[in-house]
Amino acid sequence: MKIVALQASPNEDGLTASMAKRALAGAEAAGAETELLHLCQLELASCRACETGWGQCRRDGTCVIEDDLATVRAKMTAADGIVVATPVYFGDVAEVLKAFFDRLRRCHFGGPEEERLSGKSVLGIAAAGGSGGGGPTCLVSMERYYAHMGMRAFDQMIVTRRSRDYMLEAAERAGAALIRHLQE
């Protein structure tokens, strides 16, 4: 069993990264192999909307931009489940995650079926540093991205700096629950 986590905060020791790490710790405790990918450390450009908006991505499922998109996509495809942890910015996902998902979903529709993410279960985590008021709309955005690619939300969590202590424990339990779900 393999779980890959996408962590979209530039702060590797902050709330978002801590939640992703604890979810992976729970998955590991349940017997999974895990990998944490810090998206802000990778080279991930924004979509160029090639040709008339659908170019190589629509034809063969790959992107003309040579960066880390294909590597991350391959890791997601090889994984049994996925954790996506993002800080909440203005009620939405972090810009690096948005740019990544925008390109990923375009590539999802082209190319071979085995490279698609359809049916993957995702544990989504929205880490709101302020009041937490933007958390619900962030989770809606995340679910919309999953749905475009045929992935399923296993669970969605909102954490704030005030709820950090007990939500870290909840993230660990959710990671273990994701493994149990995938084994059913």
Q: What is the domain partition of the chain in residue ranges?
A: 2-183
Alpha carbon distance 134, 70 (integer Å): 30
* Phi and psi, residue 94, nearest 5°: -60, 150
* 44 vs 60: CA distance, rounded Å: 19
**Percent of the chain predicted with pLDDT > 70:** 99
What pTM, to 2 d.p., does this model score? 0.95
Please determine, looking at this structure, whether the domain spanning 2-183 carries the CATH number 3.40.640.10: no
CA dihedral 162, 165, 170, 176 (to 10 degrees): 140
Q: Give the integer Cα–Cα distance in Å for 1 and 33.
A: 6
Q: Per-residue pLDDT tens for 75-105?
A: 999 999 999 999 999 999 999 999 999 999 9
Q: How confident is the model at residue 70 (pLDDT cuts 50, 70, 90)?
A: very high
- Sign for the CA dihedral angle at 38, 83, 74, 67 comes to negative
Average pLDDT of the chain, as a whole number:
94
